[in-house]
């Protein structure tokens, strides 16, 4: 489980392919001694399992993750290459502060950035959600985009927008985003279950 509070911005250092599985080596500021093999780390919102790790000479860690064909099909991970920067979050531990909202790291699909607008120091970003996911997005509800917990500002059919404060742009990859970019989308878990109960009823 994750909360959508980004704790580091990592960088893809190497990419390799074997038997339809893509392995990434990711540089991070995390302490290698605190990362266990088999641990989960959210990379741009995708819950990935650590399959290898080592300390970096200059500090921090290099950890390896594997991407299965389904992950590459559903998420933006298929676009990652050497040099790609990723929002990172370690998995939630009992007793940690829950600053965002509960997230599984199971990405539902991708949303497209359709508009960027400056609002003084803040910024409003508008997204186009896949039709099948738009029904789970509500004004003032929560949504996870590229692993960042965000509050939905408004909803307009399949489009919705979120307002970003300068801090979010400075400590995540959001300052690098442009119109036309696709980001990983995980809808709110409560909304998903409520919708399913309504269908079943």
Residues labelled as active-site residues: 2, 40, 47, 49, 68, 106, 151
Q: Are 137 and 155 in contact (CB under 8 A)?
A: yes
**Which tokens in the block code for residue 163?**
């307002």
Cα 142 to Cα 25, 68, 74, 135, distances in angstroms: 30, 27, 21, 13
Phi (first) and psi of residue 120, to 5 degrees: 70, -125
Helices of type H across the chain: 69-74, 131-134, 166-171, 189-200
């Amino acid at each position: 489980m994750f909360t959508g509070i980004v704790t580091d911005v990592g960088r893809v250092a190497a990419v390799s392919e074997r038997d339809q599985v893509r392995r990434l080596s990711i540089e991070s500021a995390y302490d290698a001694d605190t990362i266990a093999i088999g641990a989960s780390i959210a990379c741009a919102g995708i819950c990935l399992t650590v399959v290898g790790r080592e300390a970096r000479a200059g500090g921090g860690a290099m950890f390896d993750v594997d991407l299965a064909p389904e992950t590459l099909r559903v998420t933006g991970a298929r676009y990652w290459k050497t040099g790609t920067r990723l929002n990172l979050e370690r998995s939630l531990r009992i007793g940690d502060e829950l600053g965002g909202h509960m997230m599984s790291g199971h990405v539902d699909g991708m949303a497209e950035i359709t508009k960027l607008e400056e609002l003084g120091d803040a910024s409003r970003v508008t997204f186009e959600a896949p039709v099948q996911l738009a029904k789970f997005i509500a004004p003032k509800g929560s949504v996870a985009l590229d692993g960042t917990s965000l509050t939905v500002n408004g909803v307009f059919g399949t489009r919705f927008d979120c307002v970003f404060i300068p801090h979010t742009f400075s400590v995540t990859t959001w300052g690098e985003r442009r119109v036309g970019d696709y980001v990983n989308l995980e809808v709110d878990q409560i909304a998903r279950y409520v919708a399913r109960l309504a269908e079943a009823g």
